[in-house]
Amino acid sequence: MKHFVPLLATGLLLASAAQAQTKLTAPPLSPSTHIRQSFSTSYIELTYSRPSLRGRVAFGNLVPNGTVWRTGANTITKVRFGEEVKINGQTVPAGAYALLTIPDAKEWTFILNRDTAQWGTYEYKQALDVLRVKAKPTKLAAPVETMSLTVENLRPNAADLVVSWDRTQVALPITADPDRIVMGQIQEAMKGEKKPYITAAQYYYNTGKDLTPAIGWIDEAIKAKPDYYSYYWKAKLLQKQGKNKEAIEAANKSLELVKADKNEVSRTEYTRLNQEVLTAAGAKK
């Protein structure tokens, strides 16, 4: 009986030592990743885990054909749109969605589902689907070891969400309407005190809109601050309109003002850019 206390104390020490053992951090078999890709006027975000083949066959084996797949490993794959988009003509409001797929040899089904908290697809409810879209897979010449979910073929108003794994690749086309958003921003901003004259004019120039209001905005910017940058953009706008005489006058004014810039890099650059406008406008050398 007299040995009970020491033995009990020893047992407690051993238990404490076992509980305090160093935690090991092993490399995950399916590492997670988070991608935020600028798109249209906002972004597309992807959060998913990336399984690898490790000698296995992906589709029709590891991922059975014709069954709902989490489109990755571990927890559900999530996609977030920073603005309203369209997929196959269907409107998808800004927000986060579970990205599920049904792979098959000849045709895949992409699914956006409202339940972003589900783990895997064990509690998947089709009633919570926002949309279902069919897509044709293509066969790759060489296998992709680790599954990849990326945003590719970026244009100002369109992109493809691409799944690549093993010898299979399939794309989900996404479109947006940035012009509607930007035009709304310009209309609202022009009501305020700090009007984005030059930025709005540049947008009109880059998107092929009527340049008449854009030149008016540049003139307002010049009234507030007659610098070489504003005159350069006025020259570009006028030259694009075919008003070469006025464009040459604006470019020469920009060249005159840029001489006072103490920054050699910007002075050299805007001298070159104005010379390009003068050449395009047919100025005599």
Answer whether residue 4 shows pLDDT above 50: no
CATH 3.30.1370.30 assigned to domain 179-280? The reply is: no
pLDDT digits (tens, 9 = 90+) for 106-125: 999 999 999 999 888 888 99
Secondary structure letter of residue 120 according to DSSP:
T
Could you tell me the pLDDT band of residue 140, with boundaries at 50, 70 and 90? very high
Alpha carbons 165 and 73: distance in angstroms, whole number: 12
| Predicted TM-score (pTM) of this structure | 0.83
Could you tell me the pLDDT band of residue 167, with boundaries at 50, 70 and 90? very high
pLDDT (mean) for 47-72: 96
* Burial class of residue 88, CB neighbours in 10 A (0-12, 13-18, 19+): middle
Amino acid in the structure at residue 94: A
pLDDT (mean) for 146-159: 97
Count of beta carbons in the 10 Å neighbourhood of residue 87: 19
Percent of the chain with pLDDT over 90: 87
pLDDT (mean) for 236-262: 96
Collapsing DSSP to helix, strand or coil, 231 comes out as helix
From first CA to last CA, the distance across the chain in angstroms is 112
| The predicted structure's pLDDT at residue 256 | 97
| The predicted structure's pLDDT at residue 147 | 98
| The predicted structure's pLDDT at residue 206 | 95
* Burial class of residue 52, CB neighbours in 10 A (0-12, 13-18, 19+): middle
Domain locations along the chain: 32-176, 179-280
pLDDT (mean) for 5-23: 56
Answer whether residue 1 shows pLDDT above 80: no
Amino acid in the structure at residue 58: A
Cβ neighbors of 237 (< 8 A, separation 6 or more) are 201, 205, 211, 214, 215, 218
Query: What ranges make up the beta strands (E) of 124-220?
Result: 129-135, 138-155, 158-175
The arrangement of strands across the sheet holding 158-175 comes to 90-92, 85-87, 158-175, 138-155
Answer whether residue 202 shows pLDDT above 50: yes
pLDDT (mean) for 28-32: 93
Query: In terms of C-beta distances under 8 Å and separation of at least 24 residues, what long-range contacts does 269-272 make, across chains too?
Result: 270/228, 270/229, 270/232
